[in-house]
Structures are given as structure tokens and as C-alpha cells.
Structure 1
Amino acid sequence: MASRQKAKQFPDFIKIRQWLNSLKTHLIVWFGVSISALKRLLRTISNHQSLLLGLVLLLFLTIGTIAAIAPGTHTFEGNIISQEMSFVYNGQQPKRFIENIRGIKELESEGIQTLTFTGKFQSELPQVNQLKSLTIQLKDRESKWIIAPVNLEGTSKIDLNELRLQPNTKVTELNYDFYRNQLAFSLQRNPKLDLKNNANILKLYLGEQPIKVIVEGYELPDSNLQKQLDNQTPLEFILNPDNQEFNLEYPQNTNIYITLAKPAKFESEQWFRGKIETKNVQFVDVDRNGSDLRDDLDVSTIVEGKIRMVGQEQEIKKNQFLMGENPDIPLNIQLIRHLQIVPKKGIEARFSGKTKQIQIGLDQDFPVSRIQGSWLDGVLPRDAIIALFSFGAATIPNLVSWLFSNTSKSEPKP
């Protein structure tokens, strides 16, 4: 039986050896033909300098033509007014985002956090009136607290001095309701990117007037006081603060609503700090109508805008989407230079970034206009690039034909 197996294996070895010998023969023949053709070409070029110049010109025109149409990465800039926007702060250090909001009628915050109030308390609960300090823990995402002046008819002295963002904080649903005179936004943290878990910091000035505080969904670290209160019922009290400065830390996701006592003078009041390093900037609202994510619908929040790149400008109309080279990935906006509220329209963002292509359209899958730059954009003017491409496209076929014709004439006749 062993002899029969060896007999079967031996012919296979012979076939492999024959195939290798055949491959070796073909490679030698191909190499010889290539060397012969190269020698003939070099000999022809040495005898005809005009052919050499023609080949150099052909190479130059080919490279120039390809560079004129091959997409390259370029800087763009634009400004958009939208009803709502979102972005991720991509800086390396904490960044002041909002400042100097004066005359706050009501401030509401939702999410898990810890509050400590000090001063004189007034409440329907005697046990609260005896306190000089009260610490409250908001226990879940639905928990919230509200502060407002006791006298809503008077001038509010509650101010927002500063909101400072930590790196990798996502600001979502940033919008301004002109009917309510309300600025709203959400702060979302990414624990995978923020290993230090530093908190976003909100600094308030409470003023010297008494303020009303309402808390829902809370727990009290003081167990004795907790037993005396029904935490299913909102806790309400009036506070005469000892310290007018009130600092809040937001280590987790939170929603913030700031309502003003009267319409702001947006032309003279600057609430937002500029030069915000960003990523994942979007002017989109997600319409969720059920638990299935496949039913979610993206709705553009753009009111109007313009965007420019490589000397080209495109207008962005209402409800159009702004996209990069991949419609599924937001345009690579790297810096928001300026944010401002435009009366009766929305929030204006002036921004810049880098991309290969900009796409615009009412449907994300079917953009109607594009801006795309080539490798030569930024080196040559647009008109010069068009002229170079036209010249190359017209000259290359004629030059190739001339080279073949002269090469054939220069070959020795048998």
C-alpha cells in the first residue's frame, strides 16, 4: 500500500517541476523582450533629442492634468444661522463658553448633581427654617432644580458669570427661544475620553435679593432631615444667600434652561466666547418617534448661510443639509470662530475647517451642489488651473500621436 501512495505522489512532483520550468522560461523571455525594447527606446531617444523633449513635456503635462483634477484637502470657512446646533469641544484645556448673561428670570437645570445652599431659609417646613446650610443631591437624570427671584416684577439680579467646558464635552440642542426669551442647551460627558472626569463649571451671581428655590427628584445626605421630608413632593424654599457667588459643578450629563426677564440686546451683548476648537459640529435635529432607532429622522435646522473653499462660494438655503465628502460623517469643522444670536432667526456660527469636498442638499443622500478643490488649488488661481487642464487635455493626445509617429520613422528598415 505504501508503494502505491508513493506512486501517486511522484507524478504530482513531476507536474510541479514542469510548471516551474515553464514559468522560468516565460520570465526569461519577457525580461529579454523588455530589455530589448528599453534599449531600442534609449537608442532612439539618444539619436533624436526632440523625442526626449517630447517625452519630458508629455510627463509634465500628464502630471499637471492629473493634479488639476485629483481632489485635495483644503481650508474652508463659512457662516450659518440655525435654529439649533451641536458640537464637541475638542480643545486640550478648559474653555470659557458662555459669560455675562444678566437679569436672569429663571434658571433650570436637570441631571445628577450636588447642591449646597448657605444662608437664611424660609419655608413651610419648620425643620428647614432652622438650617444655615442645606446640601441636596439630585439623584437621577429626571431630577431638576430651579432658581428665580422672589419678586418677579422687580429687576432680577441673578447673573451667569461664566460657564467653562471641559475637553470632550458635547454641547447639544443649543438653541434660543425668542418667544420665551430662553437659551437652552445640554452638556454631555464621555467618560471613555475624559479619564479624569473633571466637571464643567457654572458660576452664578445670586445678588443680594432673596431667591426662590424649587427642587424635584432629590435626596438629602442628612438622614434625620430626609426622614422628616417627603422627597416625592418638590422641595420649595426662599433663600437669603450668605455668599452672592454660587459655583456649580456638572460632572455628568445635564440640561440647562436660562430664561431672561426681558429680551436681550443681542447686538451689544456677547454671551459666547469665540475660537472654540470643535469636532462633530452638526446643524441637525433628530426627530425620534418611537424606540426603534431606524425610525429616527434627521431634520436640518439651518435657516440660511454661506460657505467658501478654493475661491468657490455656495449659498445654503433653509432646511438644506451641510455635509463633507461622506454624507454620513459631519463636515470637518475644526474651529467655531464666533457665536451670536441673530434676532428672530437663530444662532449664527462662523467657522472654519479642512476637507476635500463640501456637499449641500435638501436630502443627505442626494446633494445638489458641491465644492471640491484639486491638488493645485491654493498654488495656482482657479482660472490658471482650468487653463492648464484644458491645455493638457488638448495637447496630450496630439503629443502622444507625434511621439509614436516619429518613433516609427526613426526605426531602421530591414
Structure 2
Amino acid sequence: MASRQKAKQKFPDFIQIRQWLNFLKRYLIAGFLVGVSALKRLLRTISNHRTFFLVLVVILFFTLLTFAAIVPGTHRFEADIVAEKISFIYKGEENKLFLQNIRNIKELENEGKQILTFTGNFQSENLPELNKLDYLKIKLKDDKSRWIITPVNTKDTSEISLDKLRLQPNTKVTGLSYDFYRDELSFSLQPNSNLNPKIKPNKLDINLGNQPLKVILEGYELPDLKLPNQQDTPTILEFTLTPNNQVNLELTQKTSINITVEKIEEISKYKSKQWFRGEIKAENLQFLDVDRTGEDARDDLKISTIVEGKIRMVEQEKDIKQNQFLMGEDANSPLNIQEIRHLGIVPKKGIEARFFGKTKEIQIGLDPDFPVSRISGSWLDGVLPRDAIIALFSFGAATVANLLSWLFSNVSKSGSNP
């Protein structure tokens, strides 16, 4: 009896489901028939008013074309700029050769926290213990520590050379400049190991040659030199080294390097170009110097270091004059640089950088808050050449004007007919 009662309870539920499915079926069929009927009426209307429909389609096409020419688009740009000082962040995935083959260095100064080793013959008047050594390990203690090397006989051609400097990813290169009065190439390296602790240090290889060198140390320690009292070491240590080794440095901390070379006018343009290796994946490329008060960062003043240059995007080219600022669509942020293709030295002017990237707008001006020149491109500029766009708009304007005139006249005629 219980099983029969349960069957009777389930049977009405099945009937309700079947009724609901039948209703849904009728609703879908009715909707489909209504849609087919509406489509037939639309096709019949289009067939009867084929000319009007084609006119509306043409007008709609040129309307969309106008919007495509107004909506800003992101485009590739290229630039060639000479500046007194530049900075950038290397964004490659692997270490990159940045400098190489700088020969006949008159003086090399390296500032920052690091460890280096000299081997050879040592001679020192203010620390005689060095005279017995053929090996010396030096620890530079802080950011202000530095070491300087220069040939003892400055009249001889220097044998000191920078063989290579390799940048690790996320290294920030700042203050890259060339002082033509001192013939000095300067820059600072700031590794950003916080982004990836596994990133290796920047590597600097220096060939000391075989001639006697004068070495000056400041802010140093000599961990392997056993002195009765380390405090007896002079604040500034100077000694003569006749080297028999290279110096291979691993730069894990912020480092500033100054390289004094022979007159840049005496160096062939080809050689100066070969110092720098191009094709550097980069971002945050800036041509700025900051005048700091040292008290309040809000009082710091940004100064453009641009000497001259050109920039080009969507078949538009602008000249960049001295001390003008180069900005992207946001005046408070630099251009979206993707790669520095070339770095070099232009005599009596500065560092030349050729680079490219992508942006929606380029702004130029003596004041970053009030740019006087702009380059921008629409979405359509990325599809058609500018000459083709101008020709298409000229044709479209004339066509739409005639079509609208024809459309209004025919609508008024059809409205006046009974």
C-alpha cells in the first residue's frame, strides 16, 4: 500500500513537468515564427527601398571611419637625442654587455662598497708593510669608499683598459655623461636585487697592464694584512703597484665609475661608438638632472639635459631643442621606451641615444606642465598611411554631403505624396 501511495505522489509531478515542456516548446516555436516574419518584412522593406538602405550604409561607414580617426591609438615611435646626461633601467632577461674596449685610460675612479684584489709588486711610504707583499685584498667599507688608479708616469701611454662591463637585469644606470673639459666618462650602477634575489652582480673586468700604477684608497680595510692595530692604517692610503693581474669586480652595491681617457677629438668616431653596445632593452629612459636643496624634496628642481634631437611617430616628425622636456601622454611619467638601439659620444655635445617605443602621445616643451608641441595618432593611423587617410576623408566628406542632400530631398518627396 505504501509503494502505491508513493507512485501516485510522483505521477502528478511528472504530468506537471510534461506540461511545462510543452508550454516551452510552443513558446519557442511562436518566437521563431515571429522572428522569421519580422526578418521577411525587413528584407521586403530593404528590397522596396534598396537605394535608401545603401545610402544609410555608406553614411554609417563614413561615420565609423570618423570615429576611428578620432579615437587615439598606441603607435610606435623612434627618436635620436643628444643629451648631457641620461639614465635608464636595463630590462633584459639576461646579462648584457654594456661597455667594452676602452683603452689608454688615464685615470679610473671607482666609488662604492666592494671587494677587490691586486697582485704584483707593492711600494708604499706611509704603510711599509705593503712592501713585503705580492698580494693585497682590499675591502671598501661603504658607499663613500673609493679607489683610484693612474699611471705613475703620466707622459707614457696608459696601458689601463676597461675590457667589459656587463649589466644584470633591473640594473639602473644613472648619470651617464661625458665631461669634455676633463675627458671623463661617468655613470653610476644601482642593482635592484630586491626584485629577484637570484640575480647575479654586475661584472666589471679591468686590465691593468704591466706599467707601474699609483693607487689611492679611501674608506678601506685590509682584512689579510695583520697589523698590531688596524687603526694605525692611514685614512687615505697611497702606494705604487706594478701589476701582474686583471681586476675582476662583482658589483653588488651601488657603484659610481669615472673614466678619464685621451682627448675625445683624438679618438676616432668608430672607436667611441664601439665603447657602448646597443640593442639594450630599457625602460624609464630620462634626460634629466635634479637640483636638490637637501632639505625638502618638494623644493627639488628638474632640469632637462637635452641638447638636441628629433622624434618621429605616425609620419610626423618634431625637432627637440636644447633644455626642452620630452614626455609621454602623462607629463609626470617618461615615455614608454622599449629598446635603446644605439649609444655613442658626439664631440662637444654629449651622449647620443637612438631608441624606440610605443605611446599614444608625445609632448615636448620647456616646461613639463605646459608642453607646446605634441604628436599623437588615431587608431586609423595604425592601419592606413596619413596621405591615404586625408584622401579618404576628402572623398568621404564630399560623398556624405551629396548623399544627405539626396536623402532629405527624397524623404520630403515621399512624404508629400498621398
Unmatched runs of 5 consecutive residues or more in structure 1: 1-34
- Kept after mapping to 1: 8 A contact 2:78/2:356: yes
More off after superposition, 262-271 vs 124-133: 262-271
Equivalences for 1:7-406 in 2 at 5 Å?
Answer: 44-124=45-125, 125-222=127-224, 224-225=226-227, 227-231=229-233, 233-243=235-245, 245-263=246-264, 264-269=266-271, 270-393=274-397, 395-396=399-400, 399=403, 403=407, 406=410
Q: CA deviation at 1:262?
A: 3.9
Partners of 2:66 and 2:124 lie apart in 1 by 79
Letter in 2 for 1:353: G
1:260 alignment partner AA: V
Q: What's the secondary structure of 1:67's corresponding residue?
A: helix
For 1:400 and 1:171, the matched residues in 2 are separated by 60
| Distance in 1, Cα, partners of 2:98 & 2:165 | 6
1:260-282 C-alpha deviation (Å, 9 max, x unpaired): 14444141312111111111001
CA distance, structure 2, for counterparts of residue 136 and residue 145 of structure 1: 10
Deviation at 1:376? 2.1
2:4 corresponding residue in structure 1: none
Aligned AA for 1:185? F
Given that 1:283 and 1:300 are in contact with CA atoms closer than 8 Å, whether structure 2 keeps it comes out as: yes
The structure-2 alpha-carbon separation of the partners of 1:197 and 1:289, relative to structure 1 and needing over 3 Å to count, comes to same
Give the Å deviation of 1:300. Answer: 0.7
Q: Which amino acid aligns with 1:254?
A: T
How many angstroms apart in 1 are the aligned matches of 2:118 and 2:105?
Answer: 19
**Partners of 2:401 and 2:139 in 1: CA distance:** 78
Which segment is superposed worse, 401-410 or 355-364? Answer: 401-410
Q: Distance in 2 between matches of 1:232 and 1:405?
A: 100
> Offset at 1:246?
1.7
Distance across 2 between alignment mates of 1:40 and 1:368: 57
Compute the displacement of 1:290 (Å).
2.6
Alpha-carbon offset, residue 137 of structure 1:
1.2
**Which secondary structure does the structure 2 equivalent of 1:225 belong to?**
coil
Q: State the partner residue of 2:27.
A: none
The two structures have a TM-score, normalised by structure 2, of 0.84
Question: What amino acid sits opposite 1:317 in the alignment?
Answer: K
Tell me, in whole angstroms, the C-alpha distance in 2 between the residues paired with 1:226 and 1:344: 52
State the distance in 2 between where 1:400 and 1:42 align. 23
Matches of 2:123 and 2:198 in 1, distance apart? 38
After alignment, is 125-134 or 91-100 more displaced?
A: 125-134
**SS at structure 2 position matched to 1:319:** coil
Q: Is the 8 A contact 2:188 2:254 kept in 1?
A: yes
2:149 aligned partner, one-letter code: I
Contact kept in structure 1, 2:103 and 2:162, CA below 8 Å: yes
3-state SS of the aligned residue for 1:104?
Answer: coil
Q: Is the 8 A contact 2:168 2:199 kept in 1?
A: no
CA contact (8 A) 1:218 1:231 kept: no
Query: Separation in 2 of the partners of 1:212 and 1:229?
Result: 23
Deviation at 1:228, TM superposition (A): 4.1
1:253 maps to a residue whose letter is K
Alpha-carbon distance, 1:147 to partner: 0.9
Give the C-alpha shift of residue 410 in structure 1.
5.5
CA contact (8 A) 1:273 1:339 kept: yes
Q: Summarize the Cα distance change of 1:395–1:107 in structure 2 as closer, same or farther, 3 Å threshold.
A: same
298-307 or 396-405: bigger deviation: 396-405
Describe the superposition over 1:91-150 as per-residue Cα deviations: whole angstroms up to 9, x where unpaired: 111111111111111100111111111222111222222222221111111111111111
User: 2-side partners of 1:292 and 1:50: how far apart?
Assistant: 72
Change (3 A) 1:140 1:393: farther
Q: Which amino acid aligns with 1:370?
A: R
C-alpha displacement of 1:390? 4.0
Q: Does the CA contact (< 8 Å) of 2:73 and 2:382 recur in 1?
A: no
| Secondary structure, aligned partner of 2:269 | coil
Distance 1:234 1:197 in 2: 34
Shift of 1:393: 4.8
Distance 2:399 2:407 in 1: 12
How many percent identity over aligned positions? 65
